[in-house]
């Protein structure tokens, strides 16, 4: 394997470099990376300029040709070597995720395991980018034609990734891009760039050809427009907020766009459900990664007959949640990504309470930490009722029946995933058919995903689908080949 920047990437050394087309690059102007737990500076990364992005794009023009001409077996080998590297350095990856972001060390280790799976699935799917024969003789006069179609890579992909899954969400863009023969430029979240740089190190060590991958660190306000508007970029894969997504879509121009824009995810609990299972699953779904999770449970609709019992159990389980030091093995939940975000969550909760909502537990902030919070009687006029809170807050609502639960679940602008707890199969299928979302989890919370499934939403939750095979479809185009011959 190539010698790279592995030693450079150890967290004990604070000055990091960004990865531009196979080279580790530093800049005089830098960005501090903070641990949100105590706001300490754990590293610095280069503050890229628009000129850096233009250079990365120019090099990627060569990289796309290199990538497209890589035999499939070489793509598979590179991806598997990168997965091996991550596995060998798993604890460094997990500690990096935990230090720069909000996840506890246990949550971070799970993300590393999922990242390895994402890269390995990408290697497997590389061998399954297939086409089909086409019966041209279905058209009269075309009896002397025969042909097929195959899929070809689109070229250069720009990937813009968020802070909440700083490793695996990057892998969900990089893995399929490499598997399908594209070049890719990643712009990770400014507050959590280290995990993406570690992933670049894994691919560097795996001998991915230079110019195929770049990881550019910098402020979105300074380099984002240059990245998404350049006509050489043939696809923008964006994960983030709705307003930012709309801005990207307006500026991108004539190119493919894939977007995962968040949610306000509902879970329905019917009276025949296993309440112990439903409580445990929805509590975990609400407070995983401090609620900074696009699949996180924000609304729970409970049949009236069991509302009091469910609520009592839910609050009791929430009170047991251990909030504190992210690196402590016993901690269940760490801080939000910044104190500013914790203040915003606090304001939203206070607004809801001021309009009549009742606070059953939580509701207190300490710096970037915000307690796991449970609300009932949240009025429709409260912002938290319709918008994505992206914090450790969940709202419980009683409903008369499944129809009311479905109607209220659909009554927001988002539609990523939903969950339903029931042992009634016809009711489960009714929910599957009527919930206006991209995925329905039966007897699981909305916060369930495997990396091989199609992932994405409807309405303002996004465009297109991720999940390796489905991302590859987005990152390739069909080319038709037809032979005419003389009989």
List residues with catalytic annotation: 260, 294
CA distances 477 to 7, 147, 153, 197, 234, Å, are 39, 17, 7, 29, 11
Spatial separation of the C-alpha atoms in residues 199 and 122, rounded to whole Å: 14
Which residues lie closer than 8 Å to 411 by C-beta, 6 or more apart? none
The residue behind tokens 């009311």 is 404
Token duo for residue 11: 């967290």
DSSP 290: G
Dihedrals phi, psi of 299, to nearest 5 degrees: -125, 135
How far is it, in rounded angstroms, from Cα 93 to Cα 7?
Answer: 13
Q: Strands 18-20, 23-25: parallel, antiparallel or unpaired by DSSP?
A: antiparallel
CB 153 within 8 A of CB 183: no
Six token digits for residue 105:
């060390």
CA–CA distances in Å: residue 276 to residues 316, 444, 445, 453, 467: 12, 12, 13, 27, 31
Give the C-alpha separation, 124 to 130, whole Å: 13
Q: Residue 349's CB: how many other CB atoms inside 10 A?
A: 27
Task: Please report, for residues 187, 227, 475, 476, the alpha-carbon distance to residue 256 in angstroms, rounded to integers and kept in the order given.
Answer: 17, 14, 8, 10
Instruction: Evaluate whether 152 touches 98 at the Cβ level (below 8 Å).
Output: no
Tokens 């090099």 correspond to 59
- List the structure tokens of 92: 């460094």
* One-character DSSP codes across 132-158: EEE-GGGSTT-TTEEEEEEEEE-SEEE
Which helix (H) or strand (E) covers residue 259, if one does?
A: strand 256-260
């Amino acid at each position: 394997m190539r010698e790279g920047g592995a030693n450079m990437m150890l967290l004990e050394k604070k000055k990091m470099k960004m990865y531009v087309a196979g080279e580790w690059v530093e800049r005089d102007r830098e960005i501090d990376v903070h641990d949100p737990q105590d706001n300490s500076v754990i590293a610095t990364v280069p503050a890229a300029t628009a000129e850096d992005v233009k250079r990365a794009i120019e090099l990627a023009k060569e990289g796309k040709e290199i990538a497209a001409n890589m035999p499939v077996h070489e793509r598979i080998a590179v991806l598997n070597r990168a997965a091996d590297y991550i596995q060998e350095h798993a604890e460094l990856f997990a500690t990096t995720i935990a230090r720069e972001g909000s996840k506890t060390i246990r949550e971070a280790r799970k993300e590393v395991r999922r990242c390895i799976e994402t890269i390995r699935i990408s290697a497997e799917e590389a061998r399954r980018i297939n086409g089909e024969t086409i019966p041209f003789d279905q058209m009269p006069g075309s009896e002397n034609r025969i042909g097929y179609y195959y899929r070809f890579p689109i070229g250069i992909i720009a990937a813009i990734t968020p802070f909440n899954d700083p490793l695996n969400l990057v892998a969900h863009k990089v893995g399929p891009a490499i598997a399908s023969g594209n070049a890719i430029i990643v712009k990770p979240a400014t507050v959590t760039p280290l995990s993406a740089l570690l992933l670049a190190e894994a691919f560097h060590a795996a001998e991915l050809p230079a110019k195929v991958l770049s990881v550019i660190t910098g402020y979105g306000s300074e380099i984002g427009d240059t990245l998404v508007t350049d006509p050489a970029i043939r696809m923008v894969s964006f994960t983030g907020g709705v307003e930012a997504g709309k801005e990207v879509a307006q500026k991108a121009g004539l190119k493919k766009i894939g977007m995962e824009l968040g949610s306000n995810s509902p879970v329905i609990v019917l009276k025949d459900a296993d309440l112990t299972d439903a409580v445990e699953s929805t509590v975990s779904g609400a407070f995983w990664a401090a609620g900074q999770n696009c699949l996180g449970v924000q609304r729970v609709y409970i049949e009236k007959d069991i509302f009091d019992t469910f609520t009592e159990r839910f609050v009791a389980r929430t009170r047991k949640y251990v909030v504190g030091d992210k690196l402590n093995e016993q901690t269940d939940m760490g801080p939000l990504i910044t104190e500013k975000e914790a203040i915003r969550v606090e304001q939203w909760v206070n607004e809801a309470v001021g309009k009549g909502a009742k606070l059953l537990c939580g509701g207190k902030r300490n710096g970037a930490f915000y307690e796991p919070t449970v609300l009932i009687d949240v009025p429709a006029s409260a912002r938290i009722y319709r918008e994505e809170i992206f914090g450790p807050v969940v709202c419980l609502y009683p409903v008369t029946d499944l129809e009311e639960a479905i109607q209220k679940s659909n009554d927001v602008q988002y539609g990523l995933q939903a969950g339903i707890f029931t042992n009634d199969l016809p009711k489960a299928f009714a929910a599957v058919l009527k919930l206006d979302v991209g995925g329905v989890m039966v007897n699981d919370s909305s916060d369930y995903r495997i990396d091989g499934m199609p992932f994405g939403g409807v309405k303002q939750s996004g465009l297109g689908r991720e999940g390796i095979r489905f991302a590859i479809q987005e990152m390739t185009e069909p080319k038709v080949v037809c032979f005419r011959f003389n009989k």
